[in-house]
Amino acid sequence: MRDDRLRRGDYPLKPVSNKQRTWLRWGCSASLASAGILGVASGCADSEDTLTSVEDAAVVPPASEPDANASADGVDAGDASDATDCDASDQHCNQVVVTCADTDWCPTKSSVDVRYSLAAIWGSSATDIWAVGSAGTVLHYDGNAWTLDSPFTPATLRAIGGTSATNLWAVTTIDGIFHRTLDDAGVASWQKAPPAITTATLSVYSPLRGVWAAGNDVVVAGDLVTIRPTGFGKPSSYYQTWQTTSDGAAWVSIPGADTLSMNGIWGTELSQLWIVGNSTARGGVAFRRNAVDGGVYSGDAGDAGLPGWTETDVQTAQRLNAVWGSGPNDIWVVGGFGTIRHFDGAGWQIVESPTTDELNAVWGSGPDDVWAAGDYGTILHFDGATWRSTSTAWPLGQKPHLYGIWGSAPNDVWAVGQEGTLVHFAGKFVDAGAAQ
Amino acid sequence: MLRTFARRGVPIAIVTCALLATAFTGCADAVIVAEGPDRADAASDAPTTSTFTPPPASDGGSSSAEPEALPPMCILTECPEPWATCGASYKCGVNLSNDPKNCGACGVVCPTSVGPLHVGSTCAGGSCQYDCTPPASDGSAVYRNCDGFIENGCEVNIQADANNCGACGNKCADGLRCVLGQCGCPTGTTDCNGKCVDLLNDPSNCSACGNACSQTVAPDGGTLPAAPANMKYTCQAGQCGALVCNYPYQDCDHDRSNGCEANTQSDVNNCAVCGNVCAPGKICAPDGASNPGISRCICDFGTLCGGGTTGQNTQCADLQTDINNCGSCLNKCPGQNIPNSRPTCDQGVCGIECVDGFGDCDGNPANGCETNLTMDGSNCGTCGNQCDLGAGQPCIEGKCAMTDCDGGITH
């Protein structure tokens, strides 16, 4: 479960001085001695305000003297909490100054206010990448630099997806769906789309957490929507065929099931969609869109003759946060407590995970190159055989939660998260088997 | 702790590290069982819940100071006061000094409050303390035990008892009621049929009990003209027929022909009072749970949540931190009913954290943060941190308990 959160970014990073680092290492050595003597009872080592743990002692490089001025390698000194927020024995903490030369992932200065999180990231290519988040933050990368758009909503934009820079969707609530497109003058701008439900009042505030688009189709997903004053139980996803003229564009509900909070959508086309989330009754859920075969629906037909969803057994009680696949027979989902599941075309398998931290996002370039990002700076990589932790040149202090991950290629991957965090992988693994 | 020492000064860190090396080499691999209840000396109390104590800096902390010798530390296996093991609790998981179900000894229960008697009891210092229940929040009731018998509890409400008005034994003069702890109605008010009213300004008791002001008939018997918009006739200075605005409307333009035209609850040019103009972008609305509350100029545009047809109170919400409006209005963060968990809203994104002292060690979302890290000997302080269970070492306040080793003899 999550520890106390970071304080808001009022505290500048104070690089630990050379003297202080020396004494930290003394402390680590002493704890090594004590833990060895006490054997199994590592009570001395792991108590909160006593000694550093053996694991941390191993991480401290005994000989090298890292740079005191960490910002030289692109690590932004301003983007971290006070190092005292974090306990030396806590794996969620970074107590050692490391540079990008020594890690797989490298932080990038994003110019996003440290008071805001980036909640999602998606791109159409290496030179057109979009990240969105708290307080309507919209950040764009053109291959050269990251620049901020003017916010058009005070709400948290929770998901972003599309087909291009001029067919781009960002969502926060039923009545908070925004579409970037070309206006009549051929200028690209963000416009507010009609709400996914128009008949109700309270339901327009219902949050959306997933968006997906392909061709002229858009699907958004979120919580169960309660309609007042009458009726309950509208399903959690809505679909629209986007026409070039606004006439005729309307959201249609895709029937789901019971009390669901849906978080992620992935698929190659509208007839091959997966949607994942959480059921308060049974935990993690994964639905596959019923296939359409020459006009004949298999499975339930939904509203307006649209195919509905079929639930699959994803074998977890933990909520599922994200889904991605390289094809219909190679699909990954991730979720709470480090949960990872894989679908091979026949069914879901339980996959061993190297972490119990919550995993929030998953993306890959192919069956042998898949990434997952999650709480406390967790970034995992799958190489076709196993999932391993990867390393990041975090600033000192508690590592930020990561909420989104996307790449254009195996050597160009971005992850985003709390406090405007933006980190990049350029294709080089520092140590084939190492974890931080 | 080391980190703190590092900040306070290098010398203390040196001393501490050297101390640690000395301390733990003393305690090879045997378990020292602390002696039983007879631990009266003060020195034995200090180390029970910490693994070491820093030596006092004997010479202002010069780097050449010799480390002072401290007694070696060994694990503790008996319960330090005031902890005890009662029934099926964690070892030493019950605090006899303040546990109302085990007050002073296992199984001694302090009776909970018995409503009609207005008496409650708490466990403090290892014994049950009785007291009258707290006063009602509106001041309408304060209970006292005036007759000295605890058997009938705190039987008197001194706010309303004419024989014990404001204090035990204070009897009001004949004919006077006891009103909120005072005999008779407060100065300036009159007792009209059991209610204290201001005869000068009460439209139902205008200058006399029961004299209600009319909206159509003047005090002299003539006809009152229809009141202008948002106005009504009321009692002023003991006279009916006075025109006043209906709250929250005010006559800010001083034009009687449109009556009281400004709604001070929502008018950005007359917010709460005439002439109070809100800064551009701000909204005039009541702020807070009370509805209707007093309006203020609040909110940057767009973060006013609730109101209207939502069925929720209007409220200026900080979308970055409000667990009931997290990231967007009315988005309630889940986790409000998960055991030992609480929802968080951080930078406009929902999360869940364990309440202090608890952790999710089994990864089962159904039981939330099921592990009590302050007293679970297998997960002491953090998941997986095991005390020496074989020797009976308890987990006290999140640390595996330690104590001095037996006088001078180390094993």
Secondary structure (H, E, C), A43-78: HHHHCCCCCCCHHHHHHCCCCCCCCCCHHHHCCCCC
Query: In degrees rounded to 5, what are phi and psi of residue A221?
Result: -145, 150
pLDDT at A142: 96
Give the closest residue to B402 by CA, choosing from A18, A38, A298: A38
Chain A residues in contact with B28 (beta carbon < 8 A): 37
Q: Which amino acid is at B29?
A: D
Give the closest residue to A415 by CA, choosing from A168, A104, A151, A142: A104
Cα gap B54→A205, rounded to integer Å: 56
pLDDT at A2 over 70: no
Given a contact cutoff of 8 angstroms between Cβ atoms, the answer to whether A125 and A414 are in contact is no
Interface of A with B in 347-376 (CB under 8 A): 356
Query: Sorting pLDDT into bands at 50, 70 and 90, what band is B314?
Result: confident
Query: Sorting pLDDT into bands at 50, 70 and 90, what band is B68?
Result: low
Q: What chain A residue is nearest to B337 in terms of C-alpha separation?
A: A280
pLDDT at B48 over 50: no
pLDDT at A254 over 50: yes
pLDDT at B30 over 80: no
The mean pLDDT value for B82-109 works out to 91
Contact A205 B354 (CB under 8 A): no
pLDDT at A82: 46
pLDDT at A76: 40
Cα gap B251→B192, rounded to integer Å: 33
Q: Lowest mean pLDDT: which of A271-275, A394-398, B256-260, B371-375?
A: A271-275
pLDDT at B38: 42
The token duo for A405 is: 């991950």
B307 interfaces chain A, CB cutoff of 8 Å: no
Interface of A with B in 21-50 (CB under 8 A): 23-24, 26-27, 29-31, 33-34, 37-44, 46-50
Given a contact cutoff of 8 angstroms between Cβ atoms, the answer to whether B259 and B289 are in contact is no
pLDDT at B269 over 80: yes
Contact B385 A46 (CB under 8 A): yes
Residues of chain A with pLDDT > 70, as a percent, come to 66
Cα gap A294→B61, rounded to integer Å: 85
Contact A1 B359 (CB under 8 A): yes
Give the closest residue to A227 by CA, choosing from A246, A206, A242: A206
Chain A residues in contact with B27 (beta carbon < 8 A): 37-38
pLDDT at A71 over 80: no
Query: Sorting pLDDT into bands at 50, 70 and 90, what band is B114?
Result: low
pLDDT digits (tens, 9 = 90+) for A170-205: 999 988 999 999 988 899 999 998 888 776 666 788
pLDDT digits (tens, 9 = 90+) for B330-388: 899 988 889 999 999 999 999 999 999 999 999 998 899 999 999 999 999 988 899 99
The mean pLDDT value for A397-406 works out to 96
A152 interfaces chain B, CB cutoff of 8 Å: no
pLDDT digits (tens, 9 = 90+) for A368-395: 999 999 999 999 999 999 999 999 999 9
The mean pLDDT value for B304-311 works out to 73
pLDDT at A327: 93
pLDDT at B391 over 80: yes
pLDDT at A43 over 50: no
Cβ neighbour number for residue A147 with a 10 Å cutoff: 11
Within 8 A by CB and 6+ apart from A294, the residues are none
The mean pLDDT value for B59-67 works out to 50
pLDDT at A372: 98
Of A39-53, A153-167, B191-205, B308-322, highest mean pLDDT: A153-167
pLDDT at B51: 44
Task: Identify which of A1, A134, A261 has the shortest CB distance to residue B352.
Answer: A1
Interface of B with A in 315-344 (CB under 8 A): 319-320, 326-331, 334, 341, 344
The residue ranking higher by pLDDT, B86 or B308, is B86
**Cα dihedral B110/B113/B117/B123 (nearest 10):** 40
Q: What is the ipTM of this complex?
A: 0.76
pLDDT at A271: 76
pLDDT at A235 over 70: no
Contact B331 A44 (CB under 8 A): no
Contact A201 B310 (CB under 8 A): yes
A175 interfaces chain B, CB cutoff of 8 Å: no
Give the closest residue to A321 by CA, choosing from A387, A378, A272, A269: A378
Cα gap A288→A270, rounded to integer Å: 11
Cα gap B213→B234, rounded to integer Å: 6
Query: Where are the strands (E) in B28-159, listed by range?
Result: 73-75, 83-84, 94-95, 119-124, 127-132, 143-144, 156-157
Contact B353 A116 (CB under 8 A): no
Residues of chain B with pLDDT > 90, as a percent, come to 41
On whether the pTM is more than 0.80, the answer is no
pLDDT at A384: 96
Sign of CA dihedral A165, A169, A172, A175: positive
Chain B residues in contact with A155 (beta carbon < 8 A): 302, 319, 327-329, 348
Q: What chain A residue is nearest to B327 in terms of C-alpha separation?
A: A156
The mean pLDDT value for A78-88 works out to 51
Of A5-14, A76-85, B115-124, B170-179, highest mean pLDDT: B170-179
The mean pLDDT value for B217-235 works out to 91
Among B322, B341, B347, which would you mutate to test the A interface (most chain A Cβ atoms within 10 Å of its Cβ)? B347
Q: Lowest mean pLDDT: which of A54-68, A375-389, B190-204?
A: A54-68
Contact A46 B359 (CB under 8 A): no
Q: What chain B residue is nearest to A227 in terms of C-alpha separation?
A: B310
The mean pLDDT value for A346-365 works out to 96
- Mean per-residue pLDDT over chain A, rounded: 76
Contact A207 B3 (CB under 8 A): no
pLDDT at B405: 81
- Mean per-residue pLDDT over chain B, rounded: 80
pLDDT at A206 over 60: yes
Of A229-243, B108-122, B263-277, highest mean pLDDT: B263-277
pLDDT at A79: 41
pLDDT at A326 over 70: yes
* Rg from Cα positions in chain A: 23
Cα gap A341→A345, rounded to integer Å: 13
The residue ranking higher by pLDDT, B396 or A32, is B396
Q: Lowest mean pLDDT: which of A290-299, B98-107, B189-198?
A: A290-299
The mean pLDDT value for B160-176 works out to 91
pLDDT at B195: 86
pLDDT at A353: 97
Contact A27 B14 (CB under 8 A): no
